[in-house]
Amino acid sequence: ERPSCNHTLLARIITVIVLCVSFPTKIGSVIGCRRRRGFCTFGRCQYPTKPVGRCSRFQTCCKR
């Protein structure tokens, strides 16, 4: 038997949902940094700021 169209459609919908949920993680990190009253910077935080998280792989969330 051939798989029904409903199973194929359901598999595609699940794939789209998984991609949509996993995609905005870096954007969420920037928003999370702002919620902590911080700012994103490349590299390390300059004195007198302190690191409070990560915005992306190369950006640190710093707070005064």
Express each pLDDT in 11-41 by its tens digit: 888 877 766 655 444 555 888 899 999 999 9
Distance CA 64, CA 45 (A): 10
pTM of the model: 0.56
* In-domain check, residue 12: no
Asked if the model's pLDDT at residue 2 lies above 60, the reply is no
CATH number for position 51 = 3.10.360
Instruction: Indicate whether 35 belongs to any domain.
Output: yes
Domain limits for position 44:
25-64
- Number of domains comprising the chain: 1
Q: Apex CA 25: angle with CA 20 and CA 28, to 5°?
A: 110
| 17 domain-assigned | no
Residue 19 forms part of a structural domain: no
Let me know: does 27 contact 54? Beta carbons within 8 Å: no
Quick one: tokens of 43? 């590299």
